[in-house]
Amino acid sequence: MNDTRTVRPRGQERARHAAAGKAEARQEQVRQALRPGQSIELLKELHILTREGELNQDSRRKLKQVYHLYGFIEKILQDLEAGGRQEVTLADHGAGKSYLGFIVYDLYFSQRTGGTIYGIETRRELVERSQELARRLGFERMAFLPLTVQESEHSAELPEQIDVVTALHACDTATDDAIAFGLAKHARDMVLVPCCQAEVASCLRQGKALQLARTPLAELWRHPLHTREIGSQITNVLRCLYLESQGYSVTVTELVGWEHSLKNELILAHYTGHRKRSAAERMQAIAEEFGLHELLARRYPRVAEVLAADAASAPEPGLPPQVPEDGRI
């Protein structure tokens, strides 16, 4: 009997130690996954943390993507500040639940006295939810607007110029909407992570029989799976060329490892002012090859402007080109 009475408390003590060890391990996991000083209330509202303050395993991959993307955005914001820009503006276009915008504000803007983040989203219920969360957290320099892309380009609630435009996993043509908005707002930088894209694939399907008869290259999209994949690739290539034709230098890279997301392409665009006519010409050539003329005119209307402007300024045959005062051709 004495042995029984002494063993049972020892077993309970070992169980308590084991439970405490597991709790400490979970807290260490949280500390390693998060950035120092982040708002715990925000992380719970975004379901990154559970109500008990533990890491939500379903959100780990998305959090890794957002942190990696934040690294690119932070460098851009720091460069703007170093250049003397004090009231930096960032617009998250197609913001959804504003996951990215809240993280960027918490990590960067909350540490500064100036600057504003705008969340642009067509779904009013998501806008109202984000507005309420920003009020509750005291994120006073976040504004959320229920606007379409056309409305956002001309809304009096937005400044004439936006420094940085972001779009994280904007579905189908929403990335094109973000680009159109960035061009209208003379954005210095755009940070884009496209998601699923169906528009080009639909065009390829419509002209598949004709293309198969015309060129063996149509075998690249004869099967439905390949149609979707090559449609996605063509879409992002056109987006990059479009940005180059409008005066941006473009870098394309991976956001994170493919094991974390299949929607993993990151497009970084920085305004230089050097519009590339060759990029516009290549867009036309791609449209010719794949039967995308109507889409090109509708989705990328400024291409024609670049070609028309350059044609009007071209020298007459036999005459050398005029060199601007800054020496650039």
> What tens digit of pLDDT does each residue of 244-299 get?
999 999 999 988 655 545 567 999 999 999 999 999 999 999 999 888 999 999 99
Torsion of CA 112, 113, 114, 119, to 10 degrees: 70
The residue with tokens 């993280």 is 103
The predicted structure's pLDDT at residue 54: 79
The DSSP bridge pattern shows strands 116-120 and 142-145 to be: parallel
Give the SS3 label for residue 252.
strand
Two tokens, residue 90:
């960032």
Q: Which domain holds residue 290?
A: 197-243+275-309
| 221, part of any domain | yes
Is the entire prediction scored with pTM above 0.85? no
What single letter denotes the amino acid at residue 210?
L
Q: How many domains does the chain have?
A: 1
DSSP-assigned letter for residue 34:
S
| 147, part of any domain | no
| 281, part of any domain | yes
| 230, part of any domain | yes
Two tokens, residue 74:
């932070």
Percent of the chain with pLDDT over 90: 53
Two tokens, residue 73:
């955005």
Over residues 129-173, the pLDDT tens digits come to 999 999 999 999 999 999 998 899 999 999 999 999 999 987 778
When mean pLDDT is compared across 76-90, 274-288, 303-317, the lowest value belongs to 303-317
- The CA distance from 276 to 30, in Å, is 47
DSSP 86-109: -S-EEEEET-TT-HHHHHHHHHTG
| 117, part of any domain | no
| 301, part of any domain | yes
Q: Are the CB atoms for 130 and 154 separated by under 8 Å?
A: no
| 75, part of any domain | no
| 27, part of any domain | no
pLDDT surpassing 50 at residue 323: no
